[in-house]
Amino acid sequence: MLPKTENNKKILHCKCGYNSKELENTTITEEIPEKKEIEIIEKEQEVYPLTDTECPKCKHKKAYFWAVQTRASDEPATKFFKCESCEHTWRDYS
């Protein structure tokens, strides 16, 4: 509820339309929430697990991986890898 002056009387007013009776000997305080800092992340963080595999582009030994069902349901899922170092992405169909 917010303080409001109506007909030279202080009342509390709600946005739903409710008004309180006249306020006598009442202290109204307003609290302003303190500003919070938001951390800005420059680079998107990877949430995939890491595995030991060699990148075909830079020969780095670790890559993130995930699996997607790209073919029929009776065939195995396609594994995707993303190099931890150069961010090259490739697939493994086996």
Tell me which residues are annotated as active site.
74-75
Q: How far apart are CA 22 and CA 11, in angstroms?
A: 5
CA distance 50 to 18: 58
- SS3 string, 37-89, reads CCCCCCCCCCCCCEEECCCCCCCCCEEEEEEECCCCCCCCCEEEEEECCCCCE
